[in-house]
Structure 1
Amino acid sequence: MNILFITTAFPEDLNGHSNIYVDLMNEFKRNGHSVYVITARERRYKKPTEYINVDGLNILKVRTGNVHKTNFIEKGIATILIEYQYIRAINKYFNEVKFDLIIYATPPINFVKVIKFLKIRDKAKTYLLLKDIFPQNAVDLGIIKKNGILYKYYRKKEIELYKISDYIGCMSPKNVEYVIQHNSYLDPKRVEVCPNSIKISKYEIVDESLKAEIRKKYQLPVNSKIFVYGGNLGKPQGIDFLLDIIMANSKREDVFFLIVGSGTEYKRVEKFINENKIENAKIYPYMKQKEYNNLLKGCDAGLVFLDKRFTIPNFPSRILSYMEVGLPIIAATDKNTDLKDIIREGNFGFWCESGDLESFNKIIDLIIKDDELRKTMGFNARRYLEENYSVEDTYKIIMHHFNE
């Protein structure tokens, strides 16, 4: 089959960089499909539209505005224009290619015209990977008003996207439940769990000497328990609570907070650590996936944060990297995500509500005092990953609809 993946989140540089979408497209390629990707090349890179082949993936990078890690106004304008930019690029570069299956992921939700165009042109089947429930998430964070002009515009786009999708793959059972409950026009048989997943690497047991070597390389303390947060630093993460945690534990010598990532709140976190002269916290900018995974091997627990105001059940993909190297997870989120239920089911970490500093600090103390518990939960995390979040399984979930 000719597969087209429409996204804005394919890495600009695939050398050492990967994500859930790169792994999934490589899995399609491994199974004998011809894979095409159309992705955004954001204005910040100062490069033109380009069509390249990388390790058998045909990638069309379309010059667009900045759609990630920017302010809401710039992001809004860029996502409105992106449909027209993609259609123009498809006509120029993919005019001779007939696609059998179109896969696309949110965010953004502004792909309706592109998908309609290809469904009519190629009579292709369509599969939505729903990673973001917008515009409700923006309402939850107070960015836009419920029933305001912007909400109505984006809600209309969301409904159109769902209607044009032959199947909708959601990140978790709560996501499926939410989508069906709030979109009664959908046939429930078209909505299913299709979780975030990765190509899982061989498990490496990290002994104390290797851990010490990694910590020395990154100038991290050898004798402290290191709690790592890796990923986006933006409004959805509720960064205020992360800063509260760092400040509340700033005098401790047995705790160290390591932050790795990028986003609109990066400078704020960096400034907070520097201005308060916090010695048991360090922030690094976004790393290549291979280097980041190696760094994680020197840590003791992985952190997940989500804003407590969310009414939609988010499910952060960053847990997969933690689980791959066998780290237990500490999640501080809203009450609506089923991440907390899955962590408990797999017994691979702890959950508390975002903002509950007392509960979070009790979890930190438990991780520090009980090495056996930490190691057992880390082992459970790796096992749960292998059993539930392998890219091979995600491929099968999608393709069983089209192999009949």
Structure 2
Amino acid sequence: MRLALIADTFPPLRTSGAVQLRDLSREFVRQRHLVTVILPSADLAEPWSLEDMEGVQVLRLKAPKTKDIDYVRRTIGEFLMPFAMLRQLRKSPLADVKWDGVLWYAPSIFHGPLASALKKASSCKGYLIIRDIFPEWAVDMGLMGRGVPYRFFAAVARYQYSVADVIGVQAPGNLAYFDRWTKGPGRRLEVLQNWLADAPHAGCSVSLAATPLAGRKVLVYAGNMGVAQGMGILLDLAERLRARRDVGFLFVGRGSDAKRLAADAQARCLDNVVFRDEIHPDEIPGLYAQCHVGLVALDPRHKTHNIPGKFLTYMRSGLPVLANINAGNDLAGMIRQEEVGRVSEDGSVNTLLRMAEELLDGVDADLERRNRCRDLFKRLFSVETAVQQIVSALGGEGKTGQ
């Protein structure tokens, strides 16, 4: 199939979404499909830029800036983004390409107009990959009320849903949210698990042997540190475990809360905590090879279901998890059923402390746990399965682009 993949994140960005889309596009190519990733770029001097990345065609289109700016300017930029991209696309060598399928990745919720235009021009199906349900999660978090801004974002999101023929959500618990959407003719709703490609151990620029955590059992958090994660409880846990000289905490990444968390740890004099800046995704296996437990945190105010990309990276590396997440999240049942760690849903540091000690004290004894983690990754989160599922939904079984 010849596929257009619309997104607003891709390498050289290092976000979990960028890594996911890199792995997905590579796998499309491996399975002999032709894929073009279509991205906005505020840095281009020309209307468009076309490059080849390991067989993946990457088309960057000049569009307003949407990253690292205030919320008002970001909203305006994202609203204008698909229209700017469509205008620049018409100037590019791919203006007249006919696609066999269009897929797009949310976030952002603003890709609907571009996806609609490509679908109509090619008379093909569209697959919307939803990794978070915005603006609902922002309301849950108390970041937004149900006033005018909410109604605006909700209308944009509904339009995006209306463009899709197939929607893939990341957890069964999110299916109910789209009950009304499924009543439209020809619509299909399904669970599309998060995915990640297998990765070799390629070394890591972070060496724990050169830190105060040398020789300790290390609980690691690698990824975004923002308001949606609710990571304060992890520092509370580190404070409770400060007396255990055999235990340490490593936080690697960036985000809106990263500097605040590091300053908080310093203010508490937590000598069992180390912060490091974001590293290249290819270094993650080398980082985890030095660690013992992976940390997952989601703010308890969330009401939607989320299986974070970092959970997949832990499973891929055979790291059991210690998770503090919102009550009822599908991830809790998965962790318990698959016996790949401990999970707290009550937001209590006392519960998390008990579970952390159980996990740490048994981390060397339960040698099969690492195998269970890896088996779960291969069974549910392989990128091969994700590509096959998307191609099937778009009606392309057995059809390649070669």
Distance 2:75 2:136 in 1: 15
CA–CA separation in structure 2 for the residues paired with 1:37 and 1:75: 22
Q: Does 1:320 align with 2:320?
A: no
1:342 is matched with: 334
Identity across matched positions, percent: 27
State the match for 1:85 in structure 2.
84
2:109 match: secondary structure = coil
How far, CA to CA, are the matches of 2:350 and 2:63 in structure 1?
45
The answer to which of 66-75 and 193-202 deviates more is 66-75
Q: How far apart, CA to CA, are the structure 1 residues paired with 2:131 and 2:337?
A: 22
- Distance apart, 1:273 and its partner CA: 2.4
Query: Which of 353, 370, 374 lines up with 1:378 in the alignment?
Result: 370
Alpha-carbon deviations, 1:49-106, whole Å to 9, x = none? 5321111111122344554565433432332121122212221222132211111111
Checking the alignment, whether the CA contact within 8 Å between 2:9 and 2:18 is kept in structure 1 is no
Q: CA deviation at 1:183?
A: 4.2
Displacement of 1:239 after TM fit? 2.4
Contact 1:18 1:289 in 2 (8 A): no
Label 1:380 to 1:394 Cα distance change in 2 as closer, same or farther (>3 A): same
Q: How does 1:201-350 map to 2 (within 5 A)?
A: 201=199, 215-216=208-209, 219=211, 221-350=213-342
The aligned counterpart of 2:162 is: 163
For 1:326 and 1:59, the matched residues in 2 are separated by 33
Give the secondary-structure state (helix, strand or coil) at the position aligned to 1:236: coil
SS class of match (1:314): coil
Residue type matched to 2:158 in 1? Answer: I
Indicate how the Cα distance of structure 1 residues 270 and 46 shifts in structure 2: closer, same or farther if over 3 A, else same.
farther
TM-score normalised to structure 1 length? 0.89
Structure 1 stretches lacking a partner, 5+ long: 205-209
Query: C-alpha distance in 1, partners of 2:90/2:226?
Result: 35
Give the Å deviation of 1:140.
Answer: 0.7
Q: Provide the aligned length of Structure 1 versus Structure 2.
A: 391
Contact kept in structure 2, 1:261 and 1:285, CA below 8 Å: yes
1:207 is aligned to none
Could you list the per-position Cα deviations for residues 308-328 of structure 1 after superposition, in whole angstroms to 9, with x for gaps in the alignment? 001111221111111111000
Contact kept? 1:256, 1:280, Cα under 8 Å: yes
Partner Cα distance (1:70, 1:280) in 2: 34
3-state secondary structure, aligned to 1:238: coil
The amino acid of 1:57's aligned partner reads: V
Check conservation: 1:329, 1:348, Cα contact below 8 A.
yes
Q: CA RMSD in A?
A: 2.6
1:197 aligns with 2:189: no
- Contact 2:219–2:294 (Cα < 8 Å) also in 1: yes
Check 1:81–1:30 CA distance in 2 against 1; reply closer, same or farther (3 A cut). same
Following the alignment from structure 2 to structure 1, what is the Cα–Cα distance between the partners of residues 31 and 182?
35
Q: For residue 390 of structure 1, what is the aligned residue in structure 2?
A: 382
Greater alpha carbon shift after TM alignment, 230-239 vs 84-93: 84-93
Q: What is the DSSP-based 3-state SS (H/G/I as helix, E as strand, rest coil) of the residue aligned with 1:235? A: coil
Q: C-alpha deviations, 1:196-227, integer Å up to 9, x for none?
A: 1112246x8xxxxx99x9532x5353332100
Deviation at 1:46, TM superposition (A): 9.7
Question: Does the 8 Å contact 1:195/1:394 carry over to 2?
Answer: yes
Counterpart-to-counterpart distance in 2, 1:39 and 1:70: 18
**Counterpart for residue 120 of structure 1:** 120
| TM-score scaled by length of structure 2 | 0.90
Residue 3 of structure 1: aligned partner: 3
2:400 is matched with none
Shift of 1:48: 8.1
